A and B are shown apart, each in its own frame.
Chain A
Amino acid sequence: MRKAAVVIAAVLIMLAVSSCASGSLSGLYEEDVLRPARVKLDFSGDSVTLTSLKGDLLTGTFTASGDVVEITFPPAEAHALGLRQVMNGLRSGDKIIFEDYTFLRMPSALEKIISWMPALLNASWITLSLTVLSVCAALILSVFLALGKLSKNFITRNLSNAYVFFFRGTPLLMQIFFIYYGLPLIHSALTIQSRYMAAFIAFTLNIAAYVAEIIRAAIQSIDKGQMEASKALGLSYAQAMRLVIIPQAYRRMIPPICNEFVMVLKDTSLVFVIGLMDLTSQTRKIQSSNNTTLVFIPAMALYLVMTSVFTSVFNRLEERLSRYE
């Protein structure tokens, strides 16, 4: 957690320094759009009044030549209202007069990043929740798969093997695509309405295959002597597994499962194919609509924060479990 805090602090300091160098208060003409925002313009004579969505009023002057209307607002007043956003589809009354992009004040790098943060945080919520939920669900499924692989029962063993073989052998991207677009073509009852749900299912099934192997390896790495001793004490196979073997295997599983969490966090960027807005797609959307690569800094910082949350949780888990070893 400390590492993440240091990273964020460093990034913020860099941006604060750069923001002092840039940023001016004159009404500059520039391109920079995040989302179209609505304002209402009333033209009369050669003055124009702007009413923002919040009801703020601002008066300026305008000149029109052909299709181009140039509007100038006094920068100090514009700044006082905090009107930094770009206006699209300006209207006077109910008629669209023109489409143009005007910045009332050139925002500094830090201000731009702050304006992007809500969208980025929203998207990282999707990323984070998808990761946590699908890995958690996969953990449960994979315990059964792992035990299935170790089972003496012919059917169980081969079913588990087949499952792991299929879901590890095909790309996650194809699996997401297939579950969302392919299943409905097989049978309309298999249509999954929610994109989030489809992504969740695809991720769970895929991750379960990988984690099953992790768990199986962890179980098999426990000394054979433990099983023999349990049997000697009269425990059944199931009791031995539940009470002796698996508790010891936990500690061996922690580092690879933490790895899995961290990998899945990045794999969530694949959900763009079914139109789900995760952190990576949101970042690229901001990058293309603002024509700037500045947005990658907060995006990468967010990924680092999420990763460090996982690693610190698993580190503490490992510490607690190694108390008795």
Chain B
Amino acid sequence: MKRIFALLISVILLASAAACSEGSTDGGSGAGDGSNIGAGSGGIKSPADFAGKKIAVQDETTADESIALMIDDGMDIDVFRYPQVINCFDDLKIGRVDAVYVDSVVAAFYTTGSTEYQRVWLSDEAEPLGICLDKNSENLLAAIEAAVDTLYYNGEMANISRKHFGEDLTAGLRNVTSEPVIPPVSDDDLRTPGVFSVGADIGYPPMEYYDRDGTTPIGFDIDVGKAIADLLGLEHKVIDTAWDGIFDSVERGDFDCIMSSVSITVPRQQRHLLTQPYVANALCIVVKN
């Protein structure tokens, strides 16, 4: 039995040594306790400066794909992927990562009026957000488009944007000159008659997140969803769904649409239905001061 204990101990020692020195970009990197706190932004001014730095992204987002492309190009980036974007900012605060590569709408929440974080770069390529529906929901898509157009027409969209972002991030996205006509939505178009159910990954401030009590969802997407539901004469229901299964859920019919800061990309347009942009967005880098 002594042999077995000896074996156990040597296994642990050897493997801990190996694990500690692993330098993979998918977690398991770095060693030691708190040796790199307060590493600071290290002079990151644009994605070109990512080489050799620790960058946090949310898993399965466009920022994640963008960094994956950079790594394929040969850049040596230490990527920290997290299921939720708030974890990325947690790590930035603690000092485990040098920067967060994230959508500008989220960055606005953390950087506006804050002395702790600052945004150092904004991408030229716009990544507008759209509402995502299942391929077979053309009727509902038409109704939602008309509803969003109405919100642009009567200025409600600009109000909601100012409430959550401090400025109108929707200006110029749609040019609506006359009052749109909203086609009626029949019960067949909805999962539950009378209910406009929306899936969102609640944990993405200021688009969708929980209020201080930890149970009420609030945010830009929530308010816009409520406004659309009111225009369609339906009850607004938000269903909290993890981001990495949210597209499967809308295909399966767990809810009518996704309003969860969904960037409009070609692969998503091929697999699902996406509305025209309803709010402007771009990728940006947030560092700690």
Q: Does A255 touch B at the CB level, under 8 Å?
A: no
Task: Determine how close the nearest CB of chain B comes to the CB of A265; give it in whole angstroms.
Answer: 16
Nearest chain-A residue to B30 (Cβ)? A193
How close is A295's CB to chain B, nearest CB, in angstroms? 13
Q: Does A173 contact B (CB under 8 A)?
A: no
Chosen A-B contacts, 11 in total, with CB atoms closer than 8 Å, are A36-B72, A140-B5, A140-B8, A188-B37, A193-B35, A194-B20, A194-B31, A275-B81, A276-B28, A285-B244, A288-B244
* Closest residue of A by beta carbon distance from B7: A136
Apart from A36-B65, A136-B11, list 12 A-B contacts with CB within 8 A.
A36-B72, A99-B265, A133-B16, A181-B94, A188-B94, A188-B95, A193-B30, A193-B33, A194-B20, A276-B27, A277-B26, A291-B271
B residues near A275, Cβ cutoff 8 Å: 27, 59, 80-83, 87
A31 contacts B94, C-beta separation under 8 Å: no
Asked if B43 is an interface residue, CB under 8 A from chain A, the answer is no
Complex CA–CA separation, A188 to B37 (angstroms): 7
Q: Are B30 and A194 in contact (CB under 8 A)?
A: yes
Which single member of B8, B82, B96 contacts A139 (CB below 8 Å)? B8
A35 at the interface (CB under 8 A from B): yes
List 6 A-B pairs, minimum CB-CB distance, nearest first. A191-B34, A196-B28, A193-B30, A184-B94, A275-B82, A276-B27
Q: Is the CB of A137 within 8 A of B83?
A: no
A285 to B245, CA, bound (A): 9
**A284 is an interface residue with CB less than 8 A from chain B:** yes
B247 & A288 in contact (Cβ 8 Å cutoff): yes
Alpha-carbon separation in the docked complex, A99 to B72 (Å): 16
- State how many angstroms separate the Cβ of A67 from the closest Cβ of chain B: 9
Distance between A188 CB and nearest chain B CB, rounded to angstroms = 5
Closest chain A CB from B289 CB (angstroms)? 16
Q: Which residue of A lies closest to B267 (CB)?
A: A101
B248 interface residue (CB < 8 Å to A): yes
Chain B 25-73 interface residues, beta-carbon cutoff 8 Å to A: 26-38, 59-60, 65, 68-69, 72-73
| Interface residues of chain A: helix, strand, loop or mixed (majority) | helix
Q: Is the CB of A288 within 8 A of B248?
A: yes
In angstroms, Cα B107 to Cα A101, docked, is: 30
- Bound together, the chains give a CA A101 to CA B65 distance in angstroms of 14
In the complex, chain A residues whose CB is within 8 Å of the CB of B20:
194, 197
Pair B271/A132 contact, Cβ less than 8 Å: no
B34 engages A272 (CB within 8 Å):
no
Q: Which residues of B contact A139 (CB under 8 A)?
A: 8
Bound together, the chains give a CA A287 to CA B245 distance in angstroms of 9
A288 B31 Cβ-Cβ under 8 A: no
A132 CA to B14 CA in the complex, in Å? 12
B8, A197: Cβ atoms closer than 8 Å:
no
Complex contact A285–B72 (CB within 8 A): no
**Chain A CB within 8 A of B270 CB:** yes
Q: Name the CB-closest residue of A to B248.
A: A288
Q: Contact string, A173-193, partner B, CB cutoff 8 A, digits 1/0?
A: 000000001001100111111
- Give chain A's interface residues, CB within 8 Å of chain B: 31, 33, 35-38, 88-89, 98-101, 126, 129, 132-133, 136-137, 139-140, 181, 184-185, 188-197, 200, 247, 250, 272-277, 284-285, 287-289, 291, 317
> Which residues of chain B are within 8 angstroms of A284 by Cβ–Cβ distance?
244-245
| CB atoms of A191 and B94 under 8 A apart | yes
The answer for the CA separation of A285 and B38 in the assembled complex, in Å, is 32
Interface pair A100/B248, CB less than 8 Å apart: no
Whether B12 contacts A285 by the Cβ 8 Å rule is: no
Inside 8 A of A274's CB, which chain B residues have their CB?
27, 82, 87
Contact with A along B2-29 (1 / 0, CB 8 A): 0011001101100110011010001111
Q: A299 CB to closest chain B CB, in angstroms?
A: 15
Residues of A within 8 A of B59 (CB): 275, 285
A47 → chain B, closest Cβ, in Å? Answer: 24
Cross-chain contact B72 with A37 (CB below 8 angstroms): yes
Q: Within 8 Å CB of A288, what residues of B?
A: 60, 244-245, 247-248
Could you say which residues of chain A place their CB within 8 Å of the CB of B248?
Answer: 287-288, 291
A275-B82, A275-B83, A288-B248 are contacts. A36–B68 as well, Cβ < 8 Å?
Answer: yes
Bound-state CA distance A122–B8 (Å) is: 23
Which residue of chain A is the closest to B22 with respect to CB atoms?
Answer: A196
A89 and B69 within 8 A (CB): yes
Give every chain A residue within 8 A of B72 (Cβ-Cβ): 35-38
Give Cα distance in the complex from A30 to B75, angstroms: 29
Asked whether A250 lies within 8 Å of B1 as measured between CB atoms, the reply is: yes
For window 79-103 of B, CB contacts with A under 8 Å fall at 80-83, 87, 90, 94-96
CB distance from A291 to the nearest CB of B (A): 7
B28, B69, B82, B248, most chain A CB atoms within 10 A: B28
Interchain nearest-CB distance for B96 vs A (Å) = 6
Q: By CB atoms of chain B within 10 A, which of A184, A194, A273, A289 has the most?
A: A194
| Cα distance, A100 to B269, chains bound together (Å) | 11
Is B266 interfacial (CB-CB < 8 Å)?
yes
Residues of A within 8 A of B265 (CB): 99
B168-185 with Cβ < 8 A to chain A: none
B15, B26, B28, B60: the one contacting A194 at CB < 8 Å is: B28
Would B244 and A132 count as touching, CB distance under 8 A?
A: no
Contact: A140 with B73, CB < 8 Å? no
The listed residue (A200, A289, A317) touching B60 by CB distance below 8 A is: A289
Q: Which of A36, A185, A192, A273 contacts B34 (CB 8 A)?
A: A192
Measured between beta carbons, the chain A residues less than 8 angstroms from B37 are 184, 188-189, 191
A317 proximity list for chain B (CB < 8 A): 4
